[in-house]
Structure 1
């Protein structure tokens, strides 16, 4: 079975991936959703499926806004994500002093977005 291609010859994005990326683009600046939140919002898949989509296709969207439920930053991408969070004013908590590199965590209570419409439209103002 061959993959479908777009007019420019690139592989067509699977429908589920398109939906995950669409939700990601709607998350306002300074807010986050967990992998599970995205799956729940879509009403299909689960955190692992959303994570897989983000790993394969997330580079073209604000990937740092889809996060782990514990508020820990994405391993291997901590500094890139942290720069985005600071630029967008995403609520952070200080890291415990024993934590490797003292990287802050997301303040999930304040940063988590419930999926309601943002006042300034999809993705906030970038």
Structure 2
């Protein structure tokens, strides 16, 4: 069971790393993309591996690359409540459109296939 969960975790990380600048996915989108029915697992992986404090943390792994955790949203287009200001600021820097406190998903939702 642990091996299967670790594989899904790696697939989640790969999916999130592939989301282009200016595009977003929901937790459910990422879960569906990796063949899981567990959006909460996506949230757990992002909280475990996402860099929420620094943009310049380096890892000793030769395959390390930053995780664009901020490109994953709640199903209603809202940012994570505890990270709202930082997540919104990062998305705005990438040109992601908002209406109020929600991302306009119809304008920037990524399907995991089409180019950014």
Class of the TM-score when normalised by the shorter of the 2 chains: 0.7 to 0.9
2:84 to 69, 78, 94: 78
How far apart are the structure 2 equivalents of 1:89 and 1:73? 15
Determine helix, strand or coil for the equivalent of 2:47: helix
For the pair shown, the structure with the greater C-alpha radius of gyration is 1
After superposition, the CA RMSD in angstroms is: 1.9
Instruction: Flag structure 1 segments of 5+ consecutive residues without an equivalent.
Output: 4-13, 96-103, 120-126
Other-structure match for 1:29? 21
**CA deviations over 1:7-60 (Å, ceiling 9, x no partner):** xxxxxxx32221101100100111111111111111124111111111111224
Which structure 1 residue ranges, 4+ long, deviate > 2 Å from structure 2? Answer: none
Q: Quote the Cα distance in structure 1 between the aligned partners of 2:10 and 2:35.
A: 14
1:20 aligns with 2:16: no
Relative to the length of structure 1, the TM-score reads 0.71
Question: Is there any run of 5+ residues in structure 2 with no aligned partner, and where?
Answer: 52-65
Structure 2 contact 33–112 (Cα < 8 Å) conserved: yes
For the residues of structure 2 that align with 1:118 and 1:108, how far apart are their CA atoms? 16
CA distance in 2, matches of 1:41, 1:76: 25
Cα distance in 2, alignment partners of residues 18 and 80 from structure 1: 25
State the shift of 1:118 in Å: 2.1
- 3-state SS of paired residue (1:15): helix
Match of 1:38 among 11, 30, 37: 30
